[in-house]
Structure 1
Amino acid sequence: MTRSFTCTLSAIALALCAPAALAQAPASPPASTAQAPKGEDAKLLQLFKDSDEANLKRNPINALFRGDLRYADELGDYISDAYYDAERKAAQDELDALHRIDRAKLTDVNKIAYDVYEYNHKDTLKGLSPEILRLTAVRPINHFSGFHTFYPTFASGKGAAPFNTVLDYENNLKRHKGYVVLIDRSIGRFREGMKSGVLETKLTIQNVIAQLDTQLAQSLEESPFYGPVQQFPATFSQSDKDRLTAAYKDAIINGIYPAHKRLRDFLKTEYLPVARDSVGLGQMKGGPALYAYQIQSTTTLPLTPDYIHTLGLSEVARIRTAMDQIRQEVGFKGTLGEFFTYVRDDPKFHPQSRQWMTDEFYKVGKQVDEKVASQFSTIPKTKLEIRPYPEFREKYEAGGSYEPGTPDGSRPGVFYFNAYDLPSRSIPGITTLYLHEGAPGHHFQISLAQENPDLPAFIRFGGNTAYVEGWALYAETLGYDFGFYKDPYQRLGTLDDEMLRAMRLVVDSGIHAKGWTRDQSIQYMLDNSSMGRTDATAEVERYIAIPSQAVAYKIGALTIQRLKKKAQDALGSKFDVRDFHAQVLMTGALPLSVLEKKIDDWIAAKKAG
C-alpha cells in the first residue's frame, strides 16, 4: 500500500493517519479511576492537553478524523506562510515548556511519553526549518501526496467527513471554499519553486495532470463531490434537500471544477515544460540534504542512504533463496525468473472481479478472527470494512491502504484494495495484504491506540512511519503462526510482499542517492519478484513522489523482529507472545529507539519477577 501516518498535512494527503502511544504500560489500559497525577506528572499531562487543543484548532481536519466536530466548518490554512509559522512557533513553545518539567520526577510511563513528545517536536522543527521548507513547500502536490486526491474521497459521503445532519452538509460547503483557496495557493507555491529552481519531476506532474483530467471528465452526478446529495438522510425536509442540492451543484460547477481546471492548465502549460527530467532527489537543487533528512525522519534512526542500500541488497538475496526453495517445492523446472513470469502471467493466479476480490478479503478476515486470540490479548472494538479504491484514483494507488475509523466506533476502519488492471493483481498476495492493512496490521495498531482514552491525545492520534508500517509488515509474518502459509503459493505471496519491502530499500535509495532511472528501477523489481509491471510501475512512481517513506517499512519490521527474538532468548519459558504484542501495541507508535528501551525494561522486569 500506501500503507501508513501522522496527522499532519502530508499524512492526511497520503490518507495514512496512524495513532501512536506511550510507555511501559500494562496489556490493558490503566484504570480511569487511578489517583489524579500530581507535581511534574500533572504539569506534563496538562501540557499534552493544551498542545492537543491548540493543534486541533490549527488542523481542523485532524479533529474531523477523530469525530470532533467543533471546527467542522473549516478546512485549514495549509501550506500558507502563516500556517508554517504557527506550526513552528507551537513546536518551539511546547518544547520549551516540556524542558521546564523535571523528567526525573515523572512516573516511568510518563518518562517515555516525555521522550516521545520531545522526539516528535524536534523532528517537527527540523521539517519546518527554512532549509527544509524551501525544498518542500514549493512542491505542494504530486500524484501520491496532495489534497486533490485526498479531498474528493474525504468529502464524498463515504470518507471521514460526516453527513448526518443539515449542519454537516453546510459545513462541507464551507470546507469546499477552503479547498478552492488551497488549490489556488498550490499554484502560487509551484510558481515560487519555478523562481528558486526547486522543481517537481515531469513524471509526477504528468500523473497529476492525468488525475485532474479524470476528475474534470466526470459529470456532475459522477463526481465524488456530488455523493452527499445522492444520500440525503430520510429525516431531511424536501426544502432542505432542494436548497442543499442547488448549493452543491453551484459549489462543484462554479467552484471546485474551475479550480481543478486552473491547476491542470497551469501545470500543463507553464510548469510541465520546466519540471525536472530526472526522477531522484539527488538531481534536484538541495535534494541530497533533503533525502538525508527524510531518511532519518521516516526511520526514526540515524541511518544513511548507503546503509539502506546495502541492507536492501542483503535482504533481497536472502528472500530470493527462500523463493527458489518454493520453486523447487512446487516442481517448477525453469529458472526463478521464469517462475516469477509463470506466477505473474498465468490467469489462475489473478482475481476474477472486484466483487470476487472483496469476498476473498472478507474470507481471509474471518479466518484471522478465528485465530487472532492465540497471539493477542486485546482486540479492537472498531469494525473493519473492505472496499476497492474509487475508480477515479485507483490507477495511481498502490495495492492497498487503510483509513482509520473513529475512536468511538461510529465510523469503521476501511481497508482499500486496488482493483485496477485485474490481470496484474495477484491471488497469492491476498492473505498477506489483508494481514498488513487489516487485522492484525494497521487496523489493530491504529484502533487500539485510538480506543485508549488514557493515552495522551498526541500519542493516541500521532505516529511515525517506521513503527506504523513496521508493525504492519511484521503482522504479515504472523500468517505463519496462524497456519496460513502452508500452501506454497500463499507462502510465495508473503515472500513476494516481504521482497517488495526489501526492494524498496534498494530502489528508493537507488533513485534518490545513486542516480537510478525509472525504467532501471522497474526492471529491478520485475527481476526479483513475481509482481506485475503495473504494480512495479506504481511502486517506483510512488518512491519518486514520496522519497524515503517506503524504506521505513523494512527498517521497522526488522526492529520489531529483532526485539522479539531478544525477548525470547532472554526470557525463555517466561516469554508470552501475547504479552510481547501488548507491550509493542498498547502504547502506540513509538520512535524505534524509544520502543527498544521499553522492551528492554520489560524484559528486565520479567526476569526480575
Structure 2
Amino acid sequence: MRKLSLLSTALTALLVLAACQTTSAPESARSAPSADQAFTDLADQAWAFNQQNSGLLAPGARTAGAEARLADISPDTLAAATEQRKAYYAQITAIAPSQLSEENQINRDMILYALRNQISRIEHNMHLMPLTNETGPHNAIARLGDMFRIQNEQDAQTYLAVLRDIPTWLGQQTAYMREGVARGITQPQVVLRTFPQGVEAYVTQDPSESVFYRPMVHAQRNLSDEQARAFEIELQTVIATVVNTALMDFHDFLVEEYIPNARTDIAAHNLPNGEAFYANRVKHYTTLDLSPEEIHQIGLEQVALIRAEMEAVIEQVGFEGTFAEFIHFLRTDPQFYTDSADELLREAAWIAKQADAVLPRLFYRMPRTPYGVAPVPAEIAPNYTQGRYVRPSGDDQPGYYWVNTYAVETRPLYELEALTLHEGVPGHHFQIALAMEMENVPAYRQFTYISAFGEGWGLYAEYLGLETGFYQDPYSNFGRLTYAMWRAARLVVDTGMHALGWSRDEAVEFLGSNTALSLHNVNTEIDRYISWPGQALSYKLGLLTIQQLRAEAEEAHGRHFDVREFHDEVLRNGSVPLATLEQQVRAYIERKRQELEDA
C-alpha cells in the first residue's frame, strides 16, 4: 500500500508539471499556479507523514477505539519511513524554486530542511546513540505525564495503555544502543559518568511523586469520584511495577553493558564514516557551506576580538592582577552568587520584567503568548546547561524560561542578564512565540526550529541589551562578554575536538581560561559539545549573519534606518536557513533603499 500510494503521489505531481509545460497559455500564466499547487500538495503530505512518524506516540494512539501505544521504532518501520521521506524529498527538489511564489520558495527551503534531517538520522546511524550527556530515551517518556490531560474515562485508559507500552519502546531503544556498541557507534564514556543517575531520578518509591502521576490532577477535576479513584489505583500500580521496572532495566543496561563498552575517544571524526557524519551535522546546524577548519579560524578571530573587550573591563574596574586571577576572583567571591534557588529565580524574573519593558523600543510586532520563569527540573539539572527556553506545549499554555538552580554556588549573577535576554525576551520566547503565531503559513513554518537562526537570534538578543540599558554594572557587562566569548570559543572547541584532534582536557582548558563560566559549567558544556556534535556552532555564526545584515541595512538606509522595522523583517518568516534569511532581508533592504531614493 505504501508503494502504491507513493507511486500515485509521484505520478500526480509529474502530470501536473507536465500539464504546465504543454499548455499553450503564456509561460507566466501556465507554470506558476500549477507548480505552486503541486508543491503545496507534496509539502503538506510530507509534513503530515513526518508528524505521524516522528512523534513519541503511535499514529492514532489517542483516537477512540485505536490501539493506544508508543510509536513503533523497529528497524522495518524506520526503514520504510526513511524511504518515504526520500521519495518526498526527491519529488519536492524536482520542482525548481524559480517556478514557485516567494512564499513557497521559503516553504520549500523549510520542508526540505525538515526532511533532510530525518533522512540523515538514519543514514548516519544517529538512532543507534539516542542520547546526549543531558538527555536520553528516559527523558522522552518522562514527557508523557505532561502530554496527557485526562478529560474522560477513555483518556484515562489510553494513558494507562501507553504507560504499559514503555517496556517495549525502551527495549527497542536498548536494542539500537546494543547494536551501536557492536558497531562502535556510541557516545563516549567520559560524557556518561553521571548519566545513570538521571534515569534513576525518575524512579520513585511513592508513585504519587512520579512525573508519570501528573495527569491525576486533570483526572480528579474531570472524572467522577468513583472513576478517579479507580484510575488512581491502577495508575499507581502501573507506575510502581511496569514503569519503574522498565526504567531500572534501562539503568542497569547503561551501568552494566553500555557505558563499560562505550568508546573511549571523543571525536565525531573517529566514528565509522565519521568525517561525513560531522560534515552533515555542521551543515545542518549552521546551514552554511563552511569547513571545520574555516569555522575554527573564525572562532579564533572572534576570541581575540572579545578578549580585548574583556581586558578593557578589567582595567575599568581597577583590578590589579592577571586575566586568570580576575576570572578566579569572579568564580570564588560570594558577592556574585545567591544563597538559594528561590533568590536566583527572583533575580531572573526581575530581569525578565525589565526586558519586557524595553520591547516597544525594539519591535512593532509583539507576541501574544506570555512566558514564565521556572527552575530546570531537578531530575535533569546536574548535567544540564545554564538555562533553556521551553516552547508552549499547547494553544492555552505559556512558554517557559528555565533557570538551572542546581548548585547555586556555580550560577553567577553577573551572567544572569545575558542569559535572561537570550532565553526570554527579546530572545527565544519572543522569536518562537511570533513564529508559532504566524498566520496563513503551513504548520512546518511555525514549528520547525533552525538552530543557526534561533540561536543566532538569541545571541543577538544578548547584544541588544547594550542598546536598551542593561549591563550598567561592569561585572554584568563582563558576564555579557563571557557569554559572547563562550559562543566564540564553541567554534574553536567543537571543531577542535571533532575534526582537529583536540583532547577533552584541551577543550576544557580553552573554554575555562577564556571565560568566567564556573568550572562546573565549563565541564558540563564541554561534555555537551562532545555528545552533540555541531550544535554549538550555530550560535555565533547565526549572530554574525544577523549583525552583517543589520550593518548593510544601516549603511543603505542611513538616518532613515528603523531598528524596529529591521527586527520585524528578520523575524517575520519564522526560523529559516541563514541563506533564506539573507535573501529575504537583502530584498527588504533594496526595496526600502529604492523607496528612499524615489521619495
Scaled to the shorter chain, the TM-score interval is 0.7 to 0.9
Deviation of 1:183 (Å): 1.2
Q: Distance in 2 between matches of 1:87 and 1:539?
A: 34
Change (3 A) 1:121 1:285: closer
Superposed counterparts of 1:245-394, under 5 Å: 245-394=232-381
The correspondence for 1:419, drawn from 405, 416, 429, is 405
Change (3 A) 1:385 1:82: farther
The correspondence for 1:155, drawn from 144, 158, 179, is 144
Look up the match of 2:506: 520
Asked whether the 8 Å contact 1:407–1:450 carries over to 2, the reply is: no
Superposed counterparts of 1:30-45, under 5 Å: 38-45=33-40
Deviation of 1:232 (Å): 4.3
In structure 2, the residue corresponding to 1:395 is in which secondary structure?
A: helix
Asked whether the 8 Å contact 2:455–2:539 carries over to 1, the reply is: yes
Asked whether the 8 Å contact 1:80–1:185 carries over to 2, the reply is: yes
The correspondence for 2:522, drawn from 533, 536, 539, is 536
Deviation of 1:150 (Å): 3.4
Deviation of 1:148 (Å): 0.9
1:54 is the counterpart of 2:49: yes
Q: Distance in 1 between matches of 2:131 and 2:304?
A: 36
1:94 is the counterpart of 2:88: yes
The correspondence for 2:130, drawn from 134, 140, 151, is 140
1:591 is the counterpart of 2:577: yes
Q: Distance in 2 between matches of 1:563 and 1:519?
A: 37
Comparing 485-494 with 234-243, which one deviates more in the overlay? 234-243
Identity of aligned residues (%): 31
The correspondence for 1:109, drawn from 103, 106, 114, is 103
The correspondence for 2:75, drawn from 78, 81, 99, is 81
Change (3 A) 1:350 1:206: same
1:221 is the counterpart of 2:211: no
Q: Distance in 1 between matches of 2:338 and 2:157?
A: 41
Q: Distance in 2 between matches of 1:554 and 1:470?
A: 6
Look up the match of 1:573: 559
Asked whether the 8 Å contact 2:414–2:478 carries over to 1, the reply is: yes
* Cα offsets for 1:568-602 (capped at 9, x unmatched): 11221332111111111120111111111111111
Change (3 A) 1:86 1:561: farther
In structure 1, the residue corresponding to 2:379 is in which secondary structure?
A: helix
Q: Distance in 2 between matches of 1:63 and 1:473?
A: 37
Change (3 A) 1:347 1:44: same
Residue type matched to 1:402 in 2? Y
Deviation of 1:416 (Å): 1.0
Change (3 A) 1:123 1:190: closer
Deviation of 1:498 (Å): 0.9
Deviation of 1:231 (Å): 6.2
Superposed counterparts of 1:485-496, under 5 Å: 485-496=471-482
TM-score normalised per structure 2: 0.88
Asked whether the 8 Å contact 1:79–1:140 carries over to 2, the reply is: no
Asked whether the 8 Å contact 1:464–1:590 carries over to 2, the reply is: yes
Comparing 480-489 with 196-205, which one deviates more in the overlay? 196-205
Superposed counterparts of 1:401-550, under 5 Å: 401-406=388-393, 408=395, 410-550=396-536
Deviation of 1:384 (Å): 0.2
Asked whether the 8 Å contact 2:137–2:173 carries over to 1, the reply is: no
Deviation of 1:99 (Å): 4.4
Q: Distance in 2 between matches of 1:167 and 1:389?
A: 32
Q: Distance in 2 between matches of 1:247 and 1:62?
A: 21
Asked whether the 8 Å contact 1:74–1:175 carries over to 2, the reply is: yes
* Cα offsets for 1:479-500 (capped at 9, x unmatched): 1111112221221111111111
Change (3 A) 1:473 1:532: same
The count of corresponding residues between Structure 1 and Structure 2 is 562
Residue type matched to 2:38 in 1? K
In structure 2, the residue corresponding to 1:245 is in which secondary structure?
A: helix
The correspondence for 2:386, drawn from 399, 417, 437, is 399
Q: Distance in 2 between matches of 1:83 and 1:577?
A: 49
Deviation of 1:160 (Å): 4.6
Asked whether the 8 Å contact 2:58–2:70 carries over to 1, the reply is: no
Q: Which runs of 5+ in 2 are unaligned?
A: 1-31
Q: Distance in 2 between matches of 1:605 and 1:76?
A: 50
Residue type matched to 1:534 in 2? H
Q: Distance in 2 between matches of 1:115 and 1:392?
A: 37
Residue type matched to 1:436 in 2? H
Change (3 A) 1:198 1:477: same
* Cα offsets for 1:155-183 (capped at 9, x unmatched): 34xx4543555444443323323433221
Q: Distance in 1 between matches of 2:182 and 2:127?
A: 13
Q: Distance in 2 between matches of 1:103 and 1:513?
A: 34
Look up the match of 1:118: 112
Change (3 A) 1:77 1:150: closer
Q: Distance in 2 between matches of 1:564 and 1:69?
A: 47
Change (3 A) 1:205 1:368: closer
Look up the match of 2:15: none
Change (3 A) 1:61 1:209: closer
Deviation of 1:234 (Å): 3.0
Residue type matched to 2:254 in 1? L
Q: Distance in 1 between matches of 2:273 and 2:432?
A: 35
Change (3 A) 1:294 1:235: closer
Deviation of 1:208 (Å): 2.2
Higher relative contact order (CA 8 A, sep 6+): 1
Largest Rg, 1 or 2: 2
Q: Distance in 2 between matches of 1:595 and 1:362?
A: 32
Comparing 457-466 with 270-279, which one deviates more in the overlay? 270-279
Asked whether the 8 Å contact 1:281–1:512 carries over to 2, the reply is: yes
TM-score normalised per structure 1: 0.86
Residue type matched to 2:102 in 1? D
In structure 2, the residue corresponding to 1:431 is in which secondary structure?
A: helix
Look up the match of 1:22: none
Asked whether the 8 Å contact 1:48–1:457 carries over to 2, the reply is: no
Deviation of 1:426 (Å): 0.9
Superposed counterparts of 1:165-244, under 5 Å: 165-216=152-203, 219-229=206-216, 232-244=219-231
Q: Distance in 2 between matches of 1:460 and 1:87?
A: 23
Q: Root-mean-square deviation (CA), in Å? A: 2.5
* Cα offsets for 1:348-399 (capped at 9, x unmatched): 1012222112222221121112110111111111110111012111101100
Asked whether the 8 Å contact 1:407–1:447 carries over to 2, the reply is: no
